Structure 1
């Protein structure tokens, strides 16, 4: 119901259903559940993949949970460029961005839900509610109930559910972050849909492993020998063998009797010979590739060392989290401030908590830049969105740590005045005085 809150402030339009096929007027459901069926592709031999079934795979669950929580936990603030450097904004906009996007959700909850939609169905959507004073709230939009349409070269978002009529929002009022867009700029690719084959294999191995161990580790068996004729006799023989196997399992015995002249042979492939453990581990790597995650973040530490784990942590921020943070910032800045950038206003994440890198290494690098005359202290502070400080706009060079272009002043102590030699009279007088 979120996009329909405060209806008196919402511009709504009822749109009649259209069936034209021109690219200017396509109704594109954002849901990706039936994506393969759209192309006539049917998977009959593997479990069907939906968002819910895919999340039953531990590595998919770990990837979605890790990425959505990580991006939701990044500090997000609104700034203004000033002559003294970036300064945080106050007021309603900062409250919407940093504290609570709407009266029902805090910033973490809102952004976690938003990113979950991106990393499952493939698209995150949110509607911007505006008042005469500016941005009032950000409201989540369920992507499965949203249709995207292009008319007259412009994009519109239509939202509807069972209890509300269709409401339309222009692109300028919708925060839209797709996982990957189609060539038409409307539809999108979702990670679960495009990675469905790998996820299907993981689901199939989960099911096989569950059934194998649920049967006490006994694989399907075939009874060979002089089997009795007739279907009833065959059923009785099968029941006798099953009772023997169950009795051995219940008694925790490794041996169970079968009639003489008969033999039980396993049907199928031994899990060890089928390299089931290796195959399941490979599926973790495949799912990590779908999300471009270093596998250490899916709790796969095979081959991990202290050194390469640290490098994977750096790579996570540089090549994954930083890119998604940039995508979200771009949408917020464009849709909230417009192409004019709002007179120096902008919204930005602070990645220091992750890597901007490793915080100690970053601080050491900034310190070296300042001490070697490469950047001023205020330029270094601006990189972390810290306000400028007085006397922070001069370059320094390591050594005496003085402003570049000046030299230390050496103070020469005054020369000592030689003492005057004492004359005879003084000597006499001194002697008389002494006497």
Structure 2
């Protein structure tokens, strides 16, 4: 049933509602956000946007894209263990295998970390339990944060999951943002529900508009039959006329004399629906501090600032979450004063074009910062002969010595032992 039928079905109250919610009504303030949203039909009966669940929020393309992009990106980062210190060497102990290869017998490291981060960016907390054999960690298992209760007893933190309780030292905990009590955490979707709900309402409005053939709701004005049956027949006649006009491709259909259709909806173009939906994408991106280009918003993208947004993603978003996870995993797997640390490798996210990478590596080799084998390893190439030494280019000389060819060294005088001995004998 189209917009016209629904509008005529409520014909008894259409005039009053239209007058009450019209822009011509001086009681409707154009600066009142709630009044304007109510005029557009985006508010519920209580005068507020309906709250949405996490499942409903994932139906918003921007939310879906962000909550999938960030977990995949963070889970794909190489995650290794190194000796503590500035230049600690990489180690491959059993705990490092849990982080870089398989967290348990059923789950790869990538799958475990992806699920962990998805919980962080939706529910607001990622939790994982460390299974131990004595003091040795043998597996890491994901926990459903929505079914876990965090409590504090005698000053110690515990995680209640099902019928079991786990001490804090056995749980890897990554909250999106802790609440003031230090136990609960905020969900970005729940906390910013209004912005996401508005995006859903705009999508529903656009879907309803185009599902009705792009025809806004109308009210029939003119002498109408009295009685419920007569009104129903009039509505059915109008609906048949509309359907017949659509079927035969006619541009218009006739109405009884003295009748006309008045639009009672808002023209989407006048309401700047396209601009509003684009702004809502940017609003959703702000919740997770996501650069707009990564939610496919290129409305203000250029060759220059798109590359800068790529750097911003690593410096101000991925890098910070990676640091949070590194410290938490190191604490829970290696203790409070660790001799080894878990670290991500962010180099892969910062890889430039092939030409830029090769020029940067060549410069690092010629200035003694990288050995050739180290540069080759960054490009996934095997070591080469003589590549385990540092080199420096010696073409830089003082200005006053430019163009001067150094003189060859003078030969040293060699004493003739035989002659000296003969002269002594004389």
TM-score, normalization: structure 1?
0.74
Q: Does 1:107 align with 2:101?
A: no
Equivalent residue runs for 1:218-367 within 5 Å: 218-341=215-338, 343=339, 345-355=340-350
TM-fit CA distance, 1:237: 1.2
- Partners of 2:181 and 2:135 lie apart in 1 by 36
| Contact 1:101/1:138, CA 8 A, preserved across alignment | yes
Other-structure match for 2:40: none
For residues 197-225 of structure 1, the C-alpha deviation after alignment (integer angstroms, 9 at most, x for no partner) is: 01001100111111111111111110000
| Contact 1:47/1:203, CA 8 A, preserved across alignment | no
Distance 1:359 1:410, change over 3 A: farther
For residues 316-350 of structure 1, the C-alpha deviation after alignment (integer angstroms, 9 at most, x for no partner) is: 00000000111110110111111111x2x111111
TM-fit CA distance, 1:254: 2.1
Distance 1:143 1:82, change over 3 A: closer
- Partners of 1:357 and 1:191 lie apart in 2 by 32
| Contact 2:95/2:333, CA 8 A, preserved across alignment | no
TM-fit CA distance, 1:310: 0.5
Other-structure match for 2:8: none
Point out the structure with the larger strand share: 1
| Contact 2:365/2:392, CA 8 A, preserved across alignment | yes
Q: Secondary structure at the match of 1:180?
A: coil
Match of 1:92 among 69, 80, 94: 94
For residues 12-37 of structure 1, the C-alpha deviation after alignment (integer angstroms, 9 at most, x for no partner) is: xxxxxxxxxxxxxxxxxxxxxxxxxx
Q: Does 1:71 align with 2:74?
A: yes
- Partners of 2:243 and 2:89 lie apart in 1 by 73
For residues 107-157 of structure 1, the C-alpha deviation after alignment (integer angstroms, 9 at most, x for no partner) is: 111111111111111110000111136211110000011000011221110
Q: Secondary structure at the match of 1:64?
A: helix
TM-score, normalization: structure 2?
0.75
Q: Does 1:55 align with 2:58?
A: yes
- Partners of 1:171 and 1:411 lie apart in 2 by 72
Q: Does 1:172 align with 2:169?
A: yes
Distance 1:186 1:231, change over 3 A: same
Q: Does 1:210 align with 2:207?
A: yes
- Partners of 2:116 and 2:210 lie apart in 1 by 38
- Partners of 1:226 and 1:250 lie apart in 2 by 28
Q: Does 1:399 align with 2:402?
A: no
| Contact 1:191/1:290, CA 8 A, preserved across alignment | yes
Other-structure match for 1:12: none
Q: Secondary structure at the match of 1:111?
A: helix
Distance 1:355 1:227, change over 3 A: same
* Count of residues in correspondence between the two structures: 353
For residues 153-202 of structure 1, the C-alpha deviation after alignment (integer angstroms, 9 at most, x for no partner) is: 21110001xxxxx2001111111111111111111111101111010011
Point out the structure with the larger helix share: 2
Q: Secondary structure at the match of 2:138?
A: strand
Q: Secondary structure at the match of 1:216?
A: coil
- Partners of 1:81 and 1:359 lie apart in 2 by 33
- Partners of 1:156 and 1:393 lie apart in 2 by 52
- Partners of 1:96 and 1:198 lie apart in 2 by 39
Other-structure match for 1:432: none
Other-structure match for 1:80: 83
TM-fit CA distance, 1:250: 2.5
Q: Secondary structure at the match of 1:94?
A: helix
For residues 271-306 of structure 1, the C-alpha deviation after alignment (integer angstroms, 9 at most, x for no partner) is: 111111011000000001011011100011112111
| Contact 1:216/1:249, CA 8 A, preserved across alignment | no
Other-structure match for 1:152: 154
Q: Secondary structure at the match of 2:252?
A: coil
Equivalent residue runs for 1:135-150 within 5 Å: 135-150=137-152
- Partners of 1:186 and 1:377 lie apart in 2 by 48
- Partners of 1:43 and 1:153 lie apart in 2 by 43
For residues 81-105 of structure 1, the C-alpha deviation after alignment (integer angstroms, 9 at most, x for no partner) is: 489x432222422221101101111
- Partners of 1:43 and 1:372 lie apart in 2 by 69
| Contact 1:314/1:358, CA 8 A, preserved across alignment | no
| Contact 2:322/2:344, CA 8 A, preserved across alignment | yes
Distance 1:249 1:311, change over 3 A: same
Q: Secondary structure at the match of 1:52?
A: helix
- Partners of 2:358 and 2:180 lie apart in 1 by 42
- Greater shift, 276-285 or 102-111, is seen at 102-111
